[in-house]
Amino acid sequence: MIKILYRKTAHSVHPLGKMLWWGMMNLPKPPYRAELQVQATGLKNGDPSTSLRARPARVRASIAHADGYKLTAIPVFAFLLQYLDGSAKRPGLWMMGHLAEPVRLMKDMEKMGVLVHASEV
């Protein structure tokens, strides 16, 4: 019984393995890049426009790094720099995004090798 199951699964996996191997050999080669992008629309500085026809602010931003694991760790380390110098210490429980100073966080991340790009559309 086990031999019969092994034969069936071995033969059914074989074409999938061929496709995986083809993809590894023929699709883009290193260097790879991990990138996070955001496109946001809303009020600028929390100030509602006086004109009803005025367009809301639109922003595009992205961060990228060659190593996805480092792209995950670098923002945490940049936040720890703020926490250790005392600028991000407040009483109570806070999420990192609400506690960190964003401009400094992005500048520290750039110093650590992250490509940061932001623009208004």
pTM of the model: 0.66
Q: What is the pLDDT of residues 7-16, one digit of tens each?
A: 555 555 577 7
Contact by Cβ (8 Å): 34, 67: yes
pLDDT, tens digit, for every residue of 48-86?
655 555 677 888 999 999 988 999 999 999 999 999 999
Residue 105: burial class (beta carbons within 10 Å; 0-12, 13-18, 19+): buried
Question: Mean pLDDT over residues 103-121, rounded?
Answer: 94
Over 70: is that where the pLDDT of 90 sits?
yes
Q: Which residues contact 10 (CB under 8 A, 6 or more apart)?
A: none
**Residue partners of 34: CB distance under 8 A and separation at least 6:** 64, 65, 66, 67, 68, 71
- The pLDDT value given to residue 53: 59
